[in-house]
Amino acid sequence: MNNYLEEIIKASLAQFELEEIPEIHLEAPKVESHGDASTNIAMMLAKPLRNNPRAIAQQIVDGLKYNESKISSVEIAGPGFINFRFAEDYLYDELASIIDQGDGFGKTDSQKGKKIQIEFVSANPTGPLTVGHGRNAVLGDTVARLMEWTGAEVDREYYFNNAGRQMRVLGQSVQARYLEELEKESEFPEGGYEGEYIRDIAKELIDEQGEDLVDAEWTPFKEKAEAAIFKDIRDTLDRMKIHMDNHFNEQSLYDSGDIDSVIKRLDELGLIKKEDGATWFKTTEFGKEKDTVLIKSTGEPTYRLPDIAYHANKLDRGYDLCIDIFGADHIATYPDVLSGISALGYDTSKVDVIVYQFVTIVKDGQPFKMSTRKANFITLDELMDEVGSDVTRFFFLMRSPNTHLEFDIAQAKEAGEKNPVFYLQYAHARIFSILRKAEEQYSFDSDVQLSLLKEDAETSLIKTLFKFPGAIQSAADAREPHRVINYLNDVASAFTTFYHDCRIIGVDENLTQARIALAKTTAQVLKNGLTILGITAPERM
């Protein structure tokens, strides 16, 4: 409908012979009695047309040519808002269309033909995924689902580093526990990983190889730990309904020469300097106050160098858009990466960075500080054991990514209406309970008289259901999955009002048929929305 309204408004604006037509904004009026859609275009044209907004609004309305089977009336309100009311026939036609689309309702083609890569999770294989990784994982996967629902081809990619000091320390940690278990002399490395999972890996090695590795260096211990931890990570992601299409190893950028190529190309552009034994990227050329170290005086690269090479690699693979899911600790680093790829000639508009705020875990009423090395963390598996994968995903999604999230484990464990995911799942299950009762008394016809749905609660629910594709598009465009949750809450609330005001069973059979169709459609929309969130839509609770 918004597309149709834009078309007829633009056609009417032709009378003004404007050099440029401003973007036409359409939204539902804050007061439902004011209509179904409203635009402020007349107020936006007041300055260029040098006229009163209400007078401009009247001219626009006078020039509108619209189908009365779609729009019943057009009114001018306040300082110059133009309000549209949808025709009843349009409501019934659209409801029938939703019923026909079923599982596909809400999908659009706005991103059709686009190839999008989303890089998320990207935890190095030094330990199990913790609650601290959860927001990244669920946010990335749900943004991917939103992009798929808007027609894009999406690749989910996991970027990791299995080299360097942290992996050496991991191997040495397993080696020390291996020797301890065999009652051999050992020394635990400084800053080593202390979790029980390290001891479990050591025990697996003993089962597999006995004492054969007593005199070995740390490398085989690192290889065993990496394989075991990655398996654990994959299992955890599977449990959260997250599947990665690609795993990209940072080391491959060194092996392929991409890292050296970045330094060489930046140097040729005059953007590299050597100072204090380090290699610097002249980020002051891009408006930064200080230049940025790419290679330390020790010869060790900073994160920025492989990240520049990695983003160049991604764009070389032909993606139309690359989305990065980063925690707030990256907020100072990713602009340097964008400067780097811009200098190399890449289009930075093809890189979109979502920075999310960190999660505070509240356990027993107190904030819980976590450390992988010290092993005082809560794993995602432990959290899902407590509250389930549905609640886990929902809690990570229910706030805007740029808002700090407090994950209260006690609240997440609550069953009942205090738990926000329960409210939506119960609404879906409740509808199926009604349908089962109705099926005991009625045999349903395919020819349903939807025009019988005339009560305010019925039309309000129908109009709420219409907004689903727009809610999905809005959430996808903003990369904010919580907007889907907000919309589904509106659906559940509108259905509650409808069910309270309109009896389904025990009225005229034709009316029952129509109301059952509306209830089924509501359940379908709830299911489609929960599917995007990666959450189940139960038929019984």
Alpha helix (H) residue ranges in 67-211: 88-101, 131-149, 165-181, 196-209
Per-residue pLDDT band for 534 (boundaries 50, 70, 90) equals: very high
Burial of 213-244, coded b for 16+ CB within 10 Å and e otherwise, reads: beeeebebbbebbbebbbebbbebbeebbbeb
Instruction: State the average pLDDT over residues 396-408.
Output: 90
Give the pLDDT score at 86.
94
| Residue 300 DSSP symbol | P
Lowest mean pLDDT segment, chosen from 14-28, 262-276, 495-509: 14-28
Give the pLDDT score at 204.
95
- Residue span(s) of the chain under CATH 3.30.1360.70 come to 2-86
- Residue span(s) of the chain under CATH 1.10.730.10 come to 417-532
Lowest mean pLDDT segment, chosen from 106-120, 343-357, 434-448, 464-478: 434-448
Radius of gyration of the chain (CA): 29
SS3 17: coil
Predicted confidence (pLDDT) at residue 297 exceeds the cutoff of 80: yes
**pLDDT tens-digit readout, 190-238:** 999 988 999 999 999 999 999 999 999 999 999 999 999 999 999 999 9
Q: Do strands 292-295 and 81-86 pair parallel, antiparallel, or not at all (unpaired)?
A: unpaired
Predicted confidence (pLDDT) at residue 504 exceeds the cutoff of 80: yes
Give the pLDDT score at 32.
80
Per-residue pLDDT band for 130 (boundaries 50, 70, 90) equals: confident
DSSP bridge pairs for 385: none
Residue type, 81: F
**pLDDT tens-digit readout, 422-475:** 899 999 999 999 999 988 887 766 788 999 999 999 999 999 999 999 999 999
Per-residue pLDDT band for 273 (boundaries 50, 70, 90) equals: very high
Of residues 141 and 370, the one with the higher pLDDT is 141
Per-residue pLDDT band for 368 (boundaries 50, 70, 90) equals: low
**pLDDT tens-digit readout, 134-176:** 999 999 999 999 999 999 999 999 999 988 888 999 999 999 9
Give the pLDDT score at 195.
86
**pLDDT tens-digit readout, 12-46:** 999 998 888 889 999 888 888 889 999 999 999 99
Predicted confidence (pLDDT) at residue 263 exceeds the cutoff of 80: yes
The CA angle 450-453-455, to the nearest 5 degrees, is 175
Can you tell me which residue has the tokens 């080299």? 163
H or E element that contains 228:
helix 219-239
CA atoms within 13 A on the CB side of 27: 9
CATH 3.50.30.30 is right for the domain spanning 417-532: no
Lowest mean pLDDT segment, chosen from 138-147, 177-186, 409-418: 409-418
Residues 231-239: contacts with CB within 8 Å, 24+ apart? 232/128, 232/129, 232/197, 233/121, 233/123, 233/125, 233/128, 233/129, 235/381, 236/128, 236/129, 236/379, 236/380, 236/381, 237/121, 237/129, 237/137, 239/381, 239/384, 239/389
Lowest mean pLDDT segment, chosen from 76-80, 117-121, 472-476, 487-491: 76-80
Spatial distance between the Cα atoms of 301 and 253, rounded to a whole number of angstroms: 12
Predicted confidence (pLDDT) at residue 131 exceeds the cutoff of 80: yes
Give the pLDDT score at 369.
63
Say if CB 221 and CB 188 are below 8 A apart: no
Give the pLDDT score at 415.
61
Q: Do strands 278-281 and 292-295 pair parallel, antiparallel, or not at all (unpaired)?
A: antiparallel
Per-residue pLDDT band for 370 (boundaries 50, 70, 90) equals: low
Can you tell me which residue has the tokens 């004492």? 211
Predicted confidence (pLDDT) at residue 239 exceeds the cutoff of 90: yes
Predicted confidence (pLDDT) at residue 416 exceeds the cutoff of 60: no
Share of the chain above pLDDT 90, in %: 79
The CATH classification number of 2-86 equals 3.30.1360.70
Instruction: State the average pLDDT over residues 74-88.
Output: 93
Share of the chain above pLDDT 70, in %: 97
Predicted confidence (pLDDT) at residue 419 exceeds the cutoff of 80: no
Instruction: State the average pLDDT over residues 282-289.
Output: 93
Give the pLDDT score at 8.
95
Of residues 163 and 246, the one with the higher pLDDT is 246
The CA angle 71-465-394, to the nearest 5 degrees, is 150
Please give the C-alpha separations between residue 292 and each of 188, 237, 282, 329, 482, in angstroms, as whole numbers.
Answer: 35, 35, 7, 17, 36
Say if CB 174 and CB 125 are below 8 A apart: no
| Token code pair at residue 378 | 């809560």
Give the pLDDT score at 408.
79
Give the pLDDT score at 414.
73
Give the pLDDT score at 376.
60
Say if CB 34 and CB 83 are below 8 A apart: yes
Give the pLDDT score at 257.
95
Spatial distance between the Cα atoms of 492 and 512, rounded to a whole number of angstroms: 20
What is the side-by-side order of every strand in the sheet holding 37-39? 26-27, 37-39, 81-86, 71-77
Torsion angle, CA of 146/147/149/155, rounded to 10 degrees? Answer: -110
Say if CB 322 and CB 267 are below 8 A apart: no
Predicted confidence (pLDDT) at residue 486 exceeds the cutoff of 70: yes
Give the pLDDT score at 447.
83
Please give the C-alpha separations between residue 541 and each of 240, 289, 430, 500, in angstroms, as whole numbers.
Answer: 21, 58, 8, 20
Say if CB 6 and CB 24 are below 8 A apart: yes
Spatial distance between the Cα atoms of 143 and 129, rounded to a whole number of angstroms: 20
Spatial distance between the Cα atoms of 359 and 382, rounded to a whole number of angstroms: 16
H or E element that contains 420:
helix 420-441
Q: What burial class does residue 187 get, using C-beta atoms within 10 Å of its C-beta: 0-12 exposed, 13-18 middle, 19+ buried?
A: exposed
Say if CB 98 and CB 525 are below 8 A apart: yes
Spatial distance between the Cα atoms of 177 and 186, rounded to a whole number of angstroms: 8
Distance of CA 56 to the CA centre of its chain: 41
Say if CB 74 and CB 5 are below 8 A apart: no
Instruction: State the average pLDDT over residues 247-264.
Output: 95
Average model confidence (pLDDT) for the chain?
92
Q: Which residues contact 130 (CB under 8 A, 6 or more apart)?
A: 370, 372, 377, 378, 379, 380
Predicted confidence (pLDDT) at residue 373 exceeds the cutoff of 70: no
Say if CB 230 and CB 125 are below 8 A apart: yes
Of residues 131 and 178, the one with the higher pLDDT is 178
Instruction: State the average pLDDT over residues 116-145.
Output: 94
Give the pLDDT score at 417.
60
Instruction: State the average pLDDT over residues 178-198.
Output: 92
